[in-house]
Structure 1
Amino acid sequence: MYKKFIKYILLCMCMCLNSLSSIASGATFLHNDELQLKAIGESLDPSGSYILSWEVDLKKQRITFEAEVATLGYIGLGISPNGNMAGADLFIGGVYKNGTKYGYDMHARDTTMPIQDNQSDWTLIDASENESKTYLKFTRLLNTCDDNDYPISNDTVRIIWSIGETDDITYHKGNRGTKSLNLLMPNNDNFNPDDYLKWDLETEIEMPSEDTTYWCSFKKAPELNSTHHIIAFEPILTNELAMNYTHHFIIYKCTPPKGQNEEDFFGPHLNHPGENCYLPDDQQSLPIKYCMSQYVYVWSKGGKRMIFPEGVGYPFPEKVGESNYYLLEIHYDNPEKLPGLTFKTGGRVLYTDKPIETDAELLTVSHDVSIAMTIPPNQTEFIVAGHCSPQCTEAGLSDGGINIFNSLLHSHLSGRKLKVRHFRDDVELPWLDFDNQYDFNFQQNKPLRDAVRVLPGDQLTVECTYSTTWNNHKAVIGGLSTREEMCMAFLWYYPKQKLDYCGSYYPNDVLHEMGVINYTVSKPSVGGLPIYTILEPKDLAGEYVESLSTKFKWNETFVREIERRRRYSTHHSGCLYKLQGRGDVISVQYPYDFMKYGPEDVCKREVVKPAGNNSSSFVVVHTSLIFMIIMLIFVTKSDLQAIQI
């Protein structure tokens, strides 16, 4: 207890020192606060009638928008919690016929006429018109601390837009839309793809008329006489069909069985059109299982180009003359089961022959995809957690640890919030990544503003918050379909280590908890996860999900209890190590009695900000520091050495 108290004092002291200048200025603290972010020419509508650009000054905590829109009427831009009008934070501006410029800070309580804010935080900088277009430039703080304004942070925002035919702010008819964006995504203005070598991995087939298909085919990389480095990936979606029906693709690296030559083992399958990735072993004609343990790249719906930091790359190939075969997995999402659609889809690898100092690797943290992930019907917030245990990072990372620089958070249609938590001993460090407005159709590899150091013995936990209200009163289980669920984080890091995958699952018999006495397990004809059918009790007999949805008597107490068990009880955790296979199954759960991390409430802090100068803030900070220093006087040298933060 004594050491824990001292650790708390040290943690508070570090946080206080890091926030000192922020508190004095009244500004939100962000890492790299000198960084300028800029995005140019984002088309909000398919026709290109509404072009939005923006620039973020992280030091001043201010975002400035520029809109160029094909209208001589009003322009509306809003930030919405769900993509709808209700609850949206809005700015509406334009130029009247007499040349007067106007701009209003507004908000919407429902789908009726928006209301002007009492506190105006959006500011019009400039407005002009030509024969066919209106141009606006306007600005606001990232967090205005106004309840009617939406705080902008490093997660997904739903931008809503509207175009008025006149300057009368009335109903916009069909001239509106929504688009998910990350407004604080670092820019890549200096990146030119033409400066690099390219390798395209593509598949062109007639998409099966099934709800969900995972299609795998073999690809051979260019034969290189020296190790190059991959420095970027991007999707190849050649037409609207590819964009609409490609849910994700994964590039895996293939390794033949020990003693086998990869050319002889994989080469004969290069001209094969591919097959379902998850057929039973006795039905598979391709050696797919020798490729699916090592991820190279994951792209998911809505994602754009992913670029490595300067001086970092993925070795390509790792060994000259070897590691030239890859597997391309494409998830076709065809909920209408439409037949006869043929299109090309895949990914592009951008690589260089110039020297790269540091090798990168991809780590997956997840809750295993299985029936253990059972989410009751009609839930608005049901949380599932998957753990990467301290034992896995201890065994898989070297003494210096790793630096995570990019994150892709992944779930399916029920996902609403995703978060990667980071624990060291019994202290929770700042979240590695989070998205409180997750959008299934906008899954973007996110460069972290500062690389996050993960040390051997650290624990990573991915948390997914689900809503099943969309699913017509049906339960949702873990599975491969977009109407089923996953909870995953794909984390790029350097330097390259042997840890590839780290996840967990709730090990108890889920069916027994539901009162099931007897059931059968079968394999689907098209491959995938097992199908469970309840036999007893008779009043629950039938296919598992259907019975849970239509026959099971849910109540709030039971729902919260099974959520608590799955989230906080002991999980089984497994690790995959490069070229070594799966490690031992380990028991893992949240650290016992840990010190919880919470982001600073900037608006609450600013309530006590003095109206005159900032001397009072310094007094508060210095008084707190003096108290902490006094407490540390009583800490022995050996105690300090034993404490790690």
Structure 2
Amino acid sequence: MSIIFQIALLTTLLLVVESSDGALNYEFSTSLHAKYNLYWNRPADGKICMAVQVETLGWVGLGFSPNGGMIDSDIMMAWVIDGQVTLTDRYAVSESLPELDLQQDFELIEGYEEDGKTTIEFCRKLETCDEDYRDRNIVAGTTKVVFSWNNNDPNPNPLQHGTRGTMNVNFIGAPRPEFYPSDLPADTQILEFKMGNITIPHDTDTTYWCRTLRLDQPATKHHVIQIGSYLDSRTFSYLHHVVLYQCMGTIAEMDGNCIGSNGLIATHQLDLKCQGTVISTWAVGGSDVLIPQAVGLPIGPDEEYDTVLLVNHYNNPQLDEGIVDNSGFIWYYTAELRTHDLGIFYLGHTFTENLSIPPKTDNFLVQVYCPNECTSSWPHDLNIIASLLHTHYTGFAIWTQLIRDNKEIELIDSNQNYDPDFQEYLYFEDPIVVKPGDEFIVNCLYQTQDKDNFTFGGRSAKEEMCFNFLYYYPRVTQSYCSMNYLKETAFNSALESLQCNNVDVDGATTYEELENRAMNIDWTEKISNTLEIAQSVNPNGVLVFCNYNSFIVNIPKPGVDYEVFHNRYDTCGRYNGTYYPGGEDANYYYDCDTNQPYFDPIGPTDSAAGLTLLPVVMWMLVTAVLSLF
């Protein structure tokens, strides 16, 4: 540890403070451990203020991690000795004591010991512009927090932690709407939609259990004002997601495993009549849906359905036996009507193998496009109040663009540190306005370095999805906009890109033949990237579904078909390479004649000109090519 670091520490980060009464007044809080609480305020002026309160009289630590581990984490360590507070900014290069940063970016506000607890209050810029690149930006979406403490003070350096852990936290975003039982109107009633103590099959690792339930609509209009997720403690670790659909018309009762080996709903009637309109969702790591006070989900005589379909996805990789589940939803509803009717609109790729992700790639981009043909018939603007992003376990980043008049207006939701085990709703303090004729692009990034074969789209946790569920008001009749890659149009581009890499496809002349050969290819990152690039440079049509209408369109490319307005550079002038693979070389192409990629670097001043969803369309083709339609 250098003398310069220690002098900086002693001269700038020592502060004597008086003991406080222990009351912490912050907007948000979460318990990282039974003995460790974290508090924070909404960021303001590019800065966030936090506090940790830990049951210890030794040192405490809090860090921001790229993956939930200690290595490469940006860490705050602090302690109090004889009323004197020491706070340090550190960086973990290994599992040993984190090194002091040359640039100390944590601002100590107060620290004290009281009643056997150590409390440290501090602030930090969201983007510190640390010259040695050892600080991690705090951004919207999931932040993987690491925490630790030791019951002894440093002597002179901190001893190894006695306890440590990791948790996901969303520091940036509107607070969840406050709601307590005492807030419920006096006439509040409850509707329960539960599985009925079914036994999860043990002969398969993936089960989708479908149960139809009767919904007796009230005689007059009511509003559902809170959607509670009822999670059975016996099966919580097996639940991946739970969805409630409304069913139109008369359907036969269903109570059983409803997904066939092909990944499709076994009963066509359920697929046709119940899979269109989502009315409740929960995914692993999520919580209840708390609806803002001016909005309610309508039920009553004007609602044209009296049956709902509860679908629970169970993941049972160990094939455990005798697991009984009763999970589902609880609706709280009242006759005290609110101003607006709530709607749920989802964007995503269909559950087919046409979503195909090659192995051995660090950041493979799949894009789902919803064109203006799907939104132009809306009778009014939509106000988005909450968003839920969803992929399975190879997904690590996901974001949704809103495009209007060929210009990107904003990112509706963006999580560049997405964790499939932490699928929480993002609430918007000011609703995001979507106008008739607007377009959406949902972008999902996948990492498959540990895979030897393709990962296809499907319902299993071992397969992949790319979805964004949006809660909005006032409600419109359209409930979804989904997309499917076309295998027929992808064949030529995929074949050419493989041949450019001198990959022997053994004379494949059809889609099915190419898929069979592809599974035996020794995949490298270069081959995967070439496939992606081929798709982007040679875009072909994709099949879009607007409810039950379908048509073929092309996915637009940024900088070509629309202008990218969102700032891809942080306040330090550094390119935020997580938005599109390739960093400042985000615009890259492949020259098959020379068998070489070439790049069109993007600078801070030409953001719109070069940014491309390259990987975007590129993989679409491959996607189609290496899967079944």
What interval of TM-score do these two structures reach, taking the shorter chain for normalisation?
A: 0.7 to 0.9
Q: Paired residue for 1:588, among 554, 567, 572? A: 554
Unpaired segments of 5 or more residues in structure 2?
A: 1-24, 497-504, 575-629
Q: Paired residue for 2:214, among 217, 220, 226? A: 220
Cα distance in 1 for partners of 2:49, 2:545 equals 45
Cα distance in 2 for partners of 1:247, 1:39 equals 27
Cα distance in 1 for partners of 2:361, 2:270 equals 40
Cα distance in 1 for partners of 2:570, 2:542 equals 38
Q: CA deviation at 1:109?
A: 2.4
Describe the SS at the equivalent of 1:585: strand
Name the residue aligned to 1:89.
Answer: 74
Cα distance in 2 for partners of 1:459, 1:327 equals 29
Describe the SS at the equivalent of 1:603: coil
Q: Paired residue for 2:426, among 422, 446, 450? A: 446
Q: Paired residue for 2:189, among 197, 206, 209? A: 197
Cα distance in 2 for partners of 1:80, 1:227 equals 48
Structure 1 residue 358 corresponds to structure 2 residue 358: no
Question: Could you say if the C-alpha distance between residues 382 and 171 of structure 1 is closer, same or farther in structure 2, counting changes exceeding 3 Å?
Answer: farther
Describe the SS at the equivalent of 2:487: coil
Cα distance in 2 for partners of 1:319, 1:413 equals 40
Name the residue aligned to 1:562.
Answer: 531
Whether the 8 Å contact between 1:237 and 1:346 is mirrored in structure 2 is: yes
Q: Paired residue for 1:251, among 239, 244, 259? A: 244
Whether the 8 Å contact between 1:37 and 1:57 is mirrored in structure 2 is: no
Cα distance in 2 for partners of 1:426, 1:595 equals 6
Describe the SS at the equivalent of 1:371: coil
Structure 1 residue 376 corresponds to structure 2 residue 355: no
Q: CA deviation at 1:564?
A: 3.1
Whether the 8 Å contact between 2:175 and 2:427 is mirrored in structure 1 is: no
TM-score, structure 1 as length reference: 0.75
Question: Could you say if the C-alpha distance between residues 77 and 545 of structure 1 is closer, same or farther in structure 2, counting changes exceeding 3 Å?
Answer: farther
Whether the 8 Å contact between 1:254 and 1:327 is mirrored in structure 2 is: yes
Matched letter for residue 152 of structure 2: T
Matched letter for residue 68 of structure 1: Q
Describe the SS at the equivalent of 1:355: coil
Cα distance in 2 for partners of 1:282, 1:199 equals 26
Structure 1 residue 331 corresponds to structure 2 residue 331: no
Structure 1 residue 49 corresponds to structure 2 residue 35: yes
Question: Could you say if the C-alpha distance between residues 356 and 318 of structure 1 is closer, same or farther in structure 2, counting changes exceeding 3 Å?
Answer: farther
Matched letter for residue 200 of structure 1: E
Structure 1 residue 465 corresponds to structure 2 residue 435: no
Whether the 8 Å contact between 1:230 and 1:351 is mirrored in structure 2 is: yes
Q: CA deviation at 1:543?
A: 12
Question: Could you say if the C-alpha distance between residues 381 and 246 of structure 1 is closer, same or farther in structure 2, counting changes exceeding 3 Å?
Answer: same
Matched letter for residue 361 of structure 2: Q
Structure 1 residue 208 corresponds to structure 2 residue 192: no
Describe the SS at the equivalent of 1:56: coil
Q: CA deviation at 1:407?
A: 1.0
Cα distance in 2 for partners of 1:57, 1:370 equals 41
Cα distance in 1 for partners of 2:422, 2:372 equals 31
Whether the 8 Å contact between 1:389 and 1:573 is mirrored in structure 2 is: no
Whether the 8 Å contact between 2:152 and 2:159 is mirrored in structure 1 is: no
Cα distance in 1 for partners of 2:531, 2:276 equals 31
Q: CA deviation at 1:431?
A: 1.3
**Deviation sequence 1:506-543 (CA, Å, 0-9, x none):** 21346777669xxxxxxxxxxxxxxxxxx9879x9999
Question: Could you say if the C-alpha distance between residues 488 and 434 of structure 1 is closer, same or farther in structure 2, counting changes exceeding 3 Å?
Answer: same
Cα distance in 1 for partners of 2:465, 2:68 equals 23
Name the residue aligned to 1:152.
Answer: 138
Name the residue aligned to 2:224.
Answer: 230
Name the residue aligned to 2:118.
Answer: 134
Cα distance in 1 for partners of 2:114, 2:524 equals 61
Q: CA deviation at 1:76?
A: 0.7
Cα distance in 1 for partners of 2:227, 2:479 equals 19
Q: CA deviation at 1:115?
A: 1.4
Whether the 8 Å contact between 1:474 and 1:545 is mirrored in structure 2 is: no
Q: CA deviation at 1:435?
A: 0.6
Whether the 8 Å contact between 2:175 and 2:429 is mirrored in structure 1 is: no
Q: CA deviation at 1:91?
A: 0.8
Cα distance in 2 for partners of 1:37, 1:121 equals 21
Describe the SS at the equivalent of 1:44: strand
* Bigger helix fraction: 1
Cα distance in 2 for partners of 1:346, 1:564 equals 43
Whether the 8 Å contact between 2:260 and 2:266 is mirrored in structure 1 is: no
Name the residue aligned to 2:298.
Answer: 315
Q: CA deviation at 1:300?
A: 0.8
Structure 1 residue 604 corresponds to structure 2 residue 575: no
Matched letter for residue 233 of structure 1: I
Cα distance in 2 for partners of 1:37, 1:67 equals 11
Unpaired segments of 5 or more residues in structure 1?
A: 1-35, 257-261, 517-534, 607-645
Q: CA deviation at 1:427?
A: 1.5
Matched letter for residue 599 of structure 1: N
Q: CA deviation at 1:282?
A: 11
Describe the SS at the equivalent of 2:375: helix
Name the residue aligned to 2:59.
Answer: 74
Cα distance in 2 for partners of 1:53, 1:179 equals 14
Structure 1 residue 116 corresponds to structure 2 residue 100: yes
Describe the SS at the equivalent of 1:564: helix
* Aligned residue pairs, count: 526
TM-score, structure 2 as length reference: 0.77
Structure 1 residue 507 corresponds to structure 2 residue 476: no
Name the residue aligned to 1:179.
Answer: 167
My pick for the range that moved more, 279-288 or 458-467, is 279-288
Whether the 8 Å contact between 1:387 and 1:573 is mirrored in structure 2 is: no
Cα distance in 2 for partners of 1:208, 1:53 equals 42
Whether the 8 Å contact between 2:361 and 2:524 is mirrored in structure 1 is: no
Name the residue aligned to 2:395.
Answer: 415
Name the residue aligned to 1:5.
Answer: none
My pick for the range that moved more, 412-421 or 182-191, is 182-191
Name the residue aligned to 2:474.
Answer: 495
Cα distance in 1 for partners of 2:114, 2:217 equals 55
How large is the RMSD of aligned CA atoms in angstroms? 3.1
Name the residue aligned to 2:544.
Answer: 574
Q: CA deviation at 1:544?
A: 9.7
Percent identical among aligned pairs is 27
Question: Could you say if the C-alpha distance between residues 537 and 237 of structure 1 is closer, same or farther in structure 2, counting changes exceeding 3 Å?
Answer: farther
For 1:511-526, list aligned pairs within 5 A.
none
Describe the SS at the equivalent of 2:373: helix
Whether the 8 Å contact between 1:206 and 1:342 is mirrored in structure 2 is: yes
Describe the SS at the equivalent of 1:563: helix
